[in-house]
Structure 1
Amino acid sequence: MMNSIPIDLFLDIISRLPAKSVAKCFFVSKQWASMLCRPDFTELFLTRSSACQRLLFAIREVENNEWHFFSSPQPQNPYETSSLVVAADSHIKFPEGMCPEFCDYASGLIYSTGQYECKVEDNVNVICNPSTGQYASLPELGTYRSSKYYLGFDPIDKIFKVLYIGVRIMTLGNGAMRWRKIQCSLTHHNLFSEGICINGVLYYISGQIGVTSYVIVCFDVRSEKFDFIDAEGYYSKLINFKGKFCMVDLSYIRDGGHSRHLELCLSVLEDVEKREWSKHVYTLRDDKFDTDRNGFLRVRVAGVTATGDIVLSSMVYVKTSKRPFYVFYFNPEEKTLDSVEIQGFGDMSNINGDSEVTAFVDHVDDPKVSIMLQHRLKLTCNNYEPTRTQA
């Protein structure tokens, strides 16, 4: 059949499929696998996918120990969009007693770590593809159990790596996966800061041993070299702001006893070499901001779109509540704020109680990621089975 179809036409047809379907095509034959691994196909697929980047929502249902993943097309002009309907992508159910938490997101993958309630010493690390429901546990790190791990992506060699704060690293899908020692000139300790990978550089905030100040750790995923930048303080949210590292501080402003205002502070690293920063402070007001029973806002920053809009999302989804779930788009140049209602979470009848929601922007599936996970990591779907392999 392949002899009767031009290769360019074949690749064009396959590039229009979802990443999950492309990953399945990889196993049709060696000929198909060879063509789908061509750089020109990857470029074609990502170019087409980038035009329809998606909002990804990860719902952590604590009571049933499940994750549910939803996504929707990311609006090209959110200020002309009043609502979006999400579609269910996949879900994962973990064993009873396991407590996984979202840690890092990089190039379409989610990294999570957690522990069993009855066995604190059993630390489990999970890599998950939210678009396909594929996941796998990683080898344990021996004595380093209660630790912080970060997921980084090398866009040149298309390789994912997991970094244990400053001392160990693991390359995913590269033969036998084992933790390796790496050299770091500065001894720093764990602050459980989140990480952000921007153009192959992994950033996170840490503390220095014997010093009360903070430091921004810059780890080049490809070369595995460290750099350090002094930080003025600790920021809970790190984002990619138009290709630049940015720290975000979100605080609540009370007005007449009601917390309906947010103060958004951005610290943007404009020049890495010169250590030059720019700072911006904005006040956001919207009656649609979600609040708890005490009047405190339940909103957090999800990220920044490629066009520069800062996206905020409600933090909790309550199926029994009649209150809509919103995401908010803030344009710092125009100083405009608009809300978009997200519909479709309620279609999952097995989501009950209060569920934690984490949103991700500009989500794009990379077929090579799906293929690598399915072929090399031998991921499975829906029911998690932990790996007990020692590092």
Structure 2
Amino acid sequence: MMKRVKRSKKRDERNVKDPFKKLPNDLNVEILMKMPPRSIARLRFASKHLSSIILDKEFTKLYMTRSSTQPRHLISVHRGGSNMQMQGFHSLSQDHASFSNHDKVSYKLDPNLPYEFTPPVRGLICGRKGTKMIVGNPSTGQFFLTLPRVKTTRRGIISFFGYDPVNDVYKVLCMTILQGRQRRGSKVVSEEHQVYTLGAQRKWRMIESSLISFDLISEEFNAIKLPEDIPCVVNYTGKVAITSWPTRNGEVHLWILEDANKQEWSKVSIVVPSWIDLIDIHHGYRFRGTLSTGELIFSPWTLPINPLYFISYNLKENIAKKVVVEELEEPDASREVYFDHVESPMFCQM
């Protein structure tokens, strides 16, 4: 005779005793809105009632609307070893870039795959090593999702991560080209471009292309002729721009794309005040773009820098300052700073 297994009632009892069920829904939302994403992620598994609120798209939109008014610096810290690779993310206030006001999460990743991350987009971030790619939320502590491998035998791969606001989906674009010895004996260097949509059919789709801009909604490329042969592309007050490297006296030249359809560019030259007093002459610097506040950001090329710092220039007030991130642990670790990071409680789904 088969022995009857007694079903555990722990989960049901936890739901019955859920204190959040007794509170008005508006109050629960207000409580969650005041919490950092990592705490929200924990509550999702502690309360079935709160989980239904957290996973609702309307709550995510409401939370991100508030977060967009309080953008942060996201610092990626990578340390490796013989047995493990740890990717840590620190989220710091842009108003007070110190560890007295930060949140930290860490992820154990494949020790043989040092991922290269793209800038975060609406709370999520994408990393790639070869044909292997991962996507996750650096603020929640949720494990990164591994995407299907990019189907290509080519060694030259460039990846981009973006958000399609019309269809409310995140997309990854991979551009592959023949590289090195693969080009020999071929008169034409062909290119392959593939797109992956999170939460869709869980596969890469081949698309036709020309270059150089890509529309995430229509998934079409549009050719844009550059006014100068400069590879550094930045966001300048909401517009696409290419920029020269800062000179010794802090002079920077920018070519701003005013109209993509008409191929119209304008040129702006900026001299950062007190530049020579703010920088270390032993380092080269790059222009990283503008914050949502309008401030221009410059950071050293050479990493790691200890202490970690960057130069912020307020165009309206014509004031430049050196912003130092204090108390960053593991000074020899590999680090990168991403600006205007918007924290999100969203959970990734392939």
TM-score, normalised relative to structure 2: 0.76
Q: In the TM superposition, what are the counterparts of 1:97-112 in structure 2 within 5 Å?
A: 97-112=112-127
Equivalent residue in structure 2 for 1:363, among 336, 341, 344: 341
How big is the alpha-carbon RMSD for the aligned residues of Structure 1 and Structure 2?
2.9
Q: Does 1:74 align with 2:94?
A: yes
The secondary structure found in structure 2 opposite 1:229 is coil
The secondary structure found in structure 2 opposite 1:23 is helix
Cα distance, 1:24–1:252 mapped onto 2, change above 3 Å: same
Tell me the number of residue pairs that the alignment of Structure 1 and Structure 2 aligns. Answer: 309
CA distance in 1, matches of 2:79, 2:29: 39
Match of 2:39 in 1: 21
User: How far apart are 1:66 and its partner, in Å?
Assistant: 3.7
CA distance in 1, matches of 2:127, 2:54: 29
The secondary structure found in structure 2 opposite 1:99 is coil
Q: Does 1:163 align with 2:173?
A: yes
Q: In the TM superposition, what are the counterparts of 1:167-246 in structure 2 within 5 Å?
A: 167-174=193-200, 176-184=201-209, 186=210, 217-246=212-241
Q: Does 1:304 align with 2:314?
A: no
Cα distance, 1:276–1:62 mapped onto 2, change above 3 Å: farther
Gapped runs of 5+ residues in structure 2? 1-18, 176-191
* 135-144 or 335-344: bigger deviation: 135-144
Cα distance, 1:104–1:39 mapped onto 2, change above 3 Å: closer
* Aligned residue identity for 2:323: V
CA distance in 2, matches of 1:27, 1:100: 29
Match of 1:151 in 2: 161
Match of 2:321 in 1: 338
CA distance in 2, matches of 1:47, 1:171: 23
- Contact 1:87 / 1:344 at 8 angstroms: preserved in 2? no
CA distance in 2, matches of 1:3, 1:27: 15
Match of 2:9 in 1: none
Cα deviations across residues 271-316 of structure 1 (Å, max 9, x unaligned)? 233322221122331433235xxx3x24333332112111123455
* Aligned residue identity for 2:205: R
Gapped runs of 5+ residues in structure 1? 76-80, 116-122, 187-214, 254-260, 378-391
* Aligned residue identity for 1:13: I
Regions of 4+ moved over 6 Å: none
- Contact 2:80 / 2:86 at 8 angstroms: preserved in 1? yes
Cα distance, 1:358–1:300 mapped onto 2, change above 3 Å: farther
Q: In the TM superposition, what are the counterparts of 1:130-145 in structure 2 within 5 Å?
A: 130-133=138-141, 134-145=143-154
CA distance in 2, matches of 1:32, 1:328: 41
CA distance in 2, matches of 1:156, 1:23: 27
CA distance in 2, matches of 1:46, 1:278: 33
Q: Which has the larger radius of gyration?
A: 2
